[in-house]
Amino acid sequence: MSENSITIESILTPRLTQIGLPGSSKKKVLEEVARTVASVRTDLEEHEIFDNLIARERLGSTGIGQGIAIPHSRSDSCDEVIGCLFTTKEKVSFDAIDNEPVDVLFVLLVPKEATSEHLELLSQIAEKFNNPSFCDKLRACGSDQALYDTMVA
């Protein structure tokens, strides 16, 4: 890896890693994501985060299968790549490619111009989530800290 390559560990913080995110629909879950991010990152607007994530979902679901979604968007307000990891309280229909409901979300918010980093991160995240036993470990986490530790291990 080159020295300026970006890693999951460098963008994910314990404060944006949460188990049991409430929401009974894709829209409600993404509203909770936006609310949570805006409460931690006060430089970002909740409505803008939500609008950007919903606009991206309209292009095609970010549900990659096996209960996993990787919602992501670019934003003018975002000055660095932000990663967030959530498990949901209940499985949510996400129009995923396999039509399975989603209960694990890795959310990526990136600056408008961060194209190669964005693609590199999506690739790293998808690779991790391609391992069913890793996904089972995430789902079994009983605390936010355990979820964070599992993801960055």
pLDDT tens sequence across 39-93: 999 999 999 999 999 999 999 999 999 999 999 999 989 999 999 999 999 999 9
CA atoms within 13 A on the CB side of 41: 27
* Pairwise CA distance, residues 112 & 120, whole Å: 15
Percent of the chain with pLDDT over 70: 97
Average pLDDT, the chain: 93
Told to judge if 47 belongs to the known catalytic residues of this protein, a careful annotator would answer: no
Domain boundary assignment for the chain: 8-152
To which H or E segment does residue 38 belong? helix 26-40
Percent of the chain with pLDDT over 90: 85
Domain 8-152, CATH class in plain words? alpha beta
Higher pLDDT, 148 or 123: 148
Higher pLDDT, 139 or 123: 139
Instruction: Identify the pLDDT of residue 3.
Output: 44
Lowest mean pLDDT among 33-37, 59-63, 119-123: 119-123
Lowest mean pLDDT among 28-37, 73-82, 83-92, 102-111: 73-82
Per annotation, catalytic residue among 61, 72, 138, 147: 72
Ordered DSSP codes for the chain? --TT---HHHHEEEEEEEEEE--SSHHHHHHHHHHHHHHH-TTS-HHHHHHHHHHHHHHS--EEETTEE--EEEESS--S-EEEEEEEEEEE----TT---EEEEEEEEEETT-HHHHHHHHHHHHHHHT-HHHHHHHHH--SHHHHHHHHH-
